[in-house]
Amino acid sequence: MRIRNPKDKEEVINSCNFIYKAEEGFKNNLPIHLEIGMGKGQFLLNMALNNPYINFIGVEKYSAIASIAIKKIRDYELPNLKILIMDAQNLPDILKNKVSCIYLNFSDPWPKKRHAKRRLTSPGFLKIYDLLFQDKCLIIQKTDNQELFDYSLESLQEYGYIIDELSYDLHQENIFNIKTEYEEKFSKEGIKIKYLKAHKDLK
């Protein structure tokens, strides 16, 4: 994936006043929902607008993409929305035992078998999520990729998750849904969106 660097990337990031800081948090006890791989921020922004009593954090590994999301979000000045620019593997350093729900929207499928451990529903990442969750593990995933979806279903269930909701064509279901930029693009191309919601009790 080639990522173009906006010329004003550093300025946009440095001037952002809604970067999540562990020492500050949200200054309330509302549940925290985490989107790992927030992309350009459309899903995160609309979720925060529609759910004022939930705190949202968007995680993006690439600063170039994060700067685009910041531009989309900043004028709304939402108290329940913050972002983190970091690798998901390092999230326990910041968010240990703080998260109620994780969204995995259109994650990189890493189709080659030797790259399976990089998939965000691989056992290695599920172990990381265990450290993030507060009391119960709750993961919601959307993808256009059938192979990743099949892998995720198997990986989650082998790890002890129970599948609560499942759809191979989300837009035909009566399920509350906020679309991402990728989702709108894929839908226009006639690609069916796969969806799951799964939970697991922490030991």
Q: Return the number of other C-beta atoms located less than 10 Å from residue 29's C-beta.
A: 8
Contact present, 101 and 164 (Cβ < 8 Å): no
Contact present, 60 and 85 (Cβ < 8 Å): yes
- The alpha carbons of the chain give a radius of gyration, in whole angstroms, of 16
Contact present, 171 and 187 (Cβ < 8 Å): yes
Catalytic residues: 108
In which residue are the tokens 């600063």 written?
A: 63
Residues 6+ apart with CB under 8 A from 200: 136, 137, 159, 160, 161, 162
Q: Apex CA 108: angle with CA 20 and CA 158, to 5°?
A: 95
